[in-house]
Chain A
Amino acid sequence: MATQLELARHRLFDEDALYVANIKLFPGSKRDATAEEVAQEINKAIAQVEAGDFDNVDDFNDC
């Protein structure tokens, strides 16, 4: 079975997948998070968004 990092690489950068031009992230609070853990989190988030499990934010309420 592919690792989370391998899955993220395919999902993000394959030409027939997202074919991402750029991805950047704000790291979490855990100092010793592994690349595999972070990749898993990104995989999960993208899977949720693709499945419709997200809240759309049209505008922020910064009042």
Chain B
Amino acid sequence: MSYSRLYDFCQTLTPHIHRNNIRDKVKELAGVPSLRVAKTALNVELCRGFYLSGRNKSHPLVQQFGCHLIVLPREGLNRCEERFVFVKELMHIFDSPLEATDTGDAFERLLSEFIAPNTKEHSPQMTSEIKCFWMALGALCPEENRKKFKAERDKSQIDDYSIALKLRIPQAYISHLFIPKFEELINLLINPQNT
């Protein structure tokens, strides 16, 4: 499974992991010849970035950028936020066909789920949004480093701000690295057949 191989690759890297390295490995694993990134005006209160894959090869945007495009805001995100947004969107290249948002109905449902998540059941599209968040965390923090940070954090020798600086990811997401089920979550992502 491609994310499993990406995860293994990231374990060999030293934080802070460069986006170009993750991007190039994802392209190789997914067999994607081109992935483009464009920055434009985006109100980060409403959307901090998006990934899209266009199928109409006659469309000017697909002709210019190829099939895979990630759009990021020109302003409004600090470097750590932008790094995380990009890597999370990049993970959607691994989405299964079932998880793809490929109809207007699926798109509307996804937007409504962001506003009011269904507590009982998520759409496959929303499930992939959640998965890719954890996939990004797993890619940006090698397990050896995570365990070391955890040991130091448990002894109050390091705080979340310092860990965020070392990883160059938003401080808001650091605590997620240390939830009791983190290893279990990552194992489900790298070994999905075990679900």
Chain A interface (Cβ < 8 Å from any Cβ of B): 5, 8-10, 12-13, 15-30, 32-35, 37-42, 44-46, 48-50, 53-57, 59-60, 62-63
Contact = CB atoms under 8 A, between A and B. Distances in A.
A39 to B, nearest CB: 7
Contact of A42 (B23, B50, B92): B50
B122 interface: no
Contact of B51 (A10, A18, A25, A46): A25
Contact of B20 (A35, A49, A59): A59
B55 A48 contact: no
Contacts of A63: 18
B179 interface: no
B95 A24 contact: yes
Q: Describe B's contact surface by its main secondary structure.
A: mixed
Interface in B89-103: 89, 92, 95, 99-103
A39 B60 CA distance: 21
A37 B52 CA distance: 18
B49 to A, nearest CB: 5
Interface of B: 16, 18-20, 23, 36-56, 59-62, 65, 67, 69, 71-72, 74, 83, 85-86, 88-89, 92, 95, 99-104, 107-108, 110-112, 114-115, 125, 128-129, 132, 168
Given A30-B45, A49-B69, 9 more contacts: A21-B55, A21-B102, A23-B50, A23-B52, A26-B88, A33-B45, A54-B38, A60-B20, A63-B18
Given A24-B92, A48-B40, A55-B40, A29 B45 contact: yes
Contacts of A41: 42-43, 46-47
